[in-house]
Amino acid sequence: KREITVERPRLPIGIDNIVIRHLAIGEAKVDLIFERIGDRVVCYLDHRHEGLVPLVVRS
């Protein structure tokens, strides 16, 4: 199955965002972004890569 699954996204204290660039999933390469918003951490694909690879985020 070619998808990205993220379980309970977290970031270290003091880090507000991380970008994993050019993550290879099959033939596709995507940028995966983790971002702290308030007390939550969200994970999403860069808008240029939406739809290339399914992203499943489980909190």
Pairing of strands 28-37, 40-45: antiparallel
Q: Is the confidence at residue 22, as pLDDT, over 90? A: yes
The pLDDT tens digits for 1-20 are 789 999 999 999 999 999 99
Q: Are 32 and 19 in contact (CB under 8 A)?
A: yes
Nearest alpha carbon to residue 57 among 34, 36, 37? 34
- Residues 32-45: tens digit of each pLDDT: 999 999 999 999 99
Residue ranges per domain, the chain?
4-58
**Three-state secondary structure call for residue 11:** coil
Question: Is the pTM here over 0.95, yes or no?
Answer: no
Asked whether 3 and 53 are in contact (CB, 8 A), the reply is yes
| Residue type present at position 9 | P
pLDDT at 28 over 80: yes
Tokens 């739809």 locate to: 51
